[in-house]
Chain A
Amino acid sequence: MRWWWWIPLMLFAGFLGVAAYQLTQPKDDFVPSAMVGKPLPAFELPAAIEGMSGVSTADFQDGKPRLLNIWASWCLPCIAEAPQLDQLKQEGVEIVGIAIRDRPEDVAAFLARHGNPYTRIGADDLSQVQLAIGSSGVPETFVIDGKGVIRYQHIGDIRAEHVPILLEKLREAGE
């Protein structure tokens, strides 16, 4: 038998190996936004609660980098990240919130209980801004530079180890 007759069998074995390896790997459930590196799309959201301002694209174009936090009062991981958002606020970071599919009274109750790190909170009742910036769940946090360009996306709740990363990304965005 000629040696190259074995090539198809080797290819098949190689394919089996790759498939078996992939089956043992944990599934990556995150869908990263393809909008990182692009400007925020134009939007204007009304305030999510009385007494605070809503959010529009223009709010991100004054030269100062910010965090844009996509969250909701009904989202449990959002409770887990509340202390980290508070810590970022203590460090002087401005955090703009967008509440997804939420009621004013629920937002107010959440903030009363877990603290309010936000300077503004917009109400996105139809997930329109969430879809427009390529976010696929709550919570997600975006670093927006002073020109309104999305520079970084953090998917899931912010844990203690993510705080320095976000601060670093904000510093880079401010350069």
Chain B
Amino acid sequence: MSLTLSSRGMALFLACLLAVPLAAQQSLPPAPYAYRQLEDPAKEAAAQALMETLRCLTCQSQSIADSDAAMAGDMRHQVRTRIAAGEEPEAIRAWLVERYGDYVSYAPVVSETTWPLFAIPLLLLAGAGAILWRRLRRAQ
């Protein structure tokens, strides 16, 4: 008797543990394609590759592929349904960049603000090369 009581108490306790975080969050189930893969493996692979390079907006240090945030789920749903409909991954990325800026994409692009990041290493390499070439020529 005491055993059943305590196990019932335990079950109630566990139920409370589970219920509290759920009650504090959203009650709608995840979007259909938030956690379901596309049937076509090639399309799913394309979607997965894109999702790994898109930033979750509510949890900014994760990609939407890694995040369990509801909004990341909705973004995965959007990526998967658009790819299923035949849209190119880069077109989807461009659509998001148009809305959130470069920030939403983890894939670096050369733009007005980012070109020095690409130019400076090349300039440094060229400078080092020039110095080395002069030194070696002098040493001969």
Contact = CB atoms under 8 A, between A and B. Distances in A.
Contacts of B71: 127, 130, 136-137
Interface in B10-53: 25-28, 31
A126 B26 contact: no
A82 B124 CA distance: 55
Contacts of B104: 31
B27 A103 contact: yes
B26 A101 contact: yes
Interface stretch (A32-40, A53-61, A112-120): A32-40
A74 interface: yes
Nearest to A106: B27
Nearest to A128: B78
B26 A34 contact: no
B50 to A, nearest CB: 14
Interface in B39-77: 57-58, 60, 70-71, 74-75, 77
B27 A31 contact: no
B133 interface: no
Given A127-B75, A131-B74, 4 more contacts: A31-B57, A101-B26, A103-B27, A127-B31
Interface of B: 25-28, 31, 57-58, 60, 70-71, 74-75, 77-78, 96-101, 103-104
Interface of A: 29, 31-35, 72, 74, 101-103, 106, 125-128, 130-134, 136-137
25 contacts: A31-B60, A31-B100, A32-B101, A33-B100, A34-B97, A34-B100, A34-B101, A35-B99, A74-B27, A101-B74, A102-B26, A106-B27, A126-B31, A126-B74, A127-B74, A128-B78, A130-B74, A131-B74, A131-B75, A131-B96, A132-B99, A136-B100, A137-B57, A137-B58, A137-B71
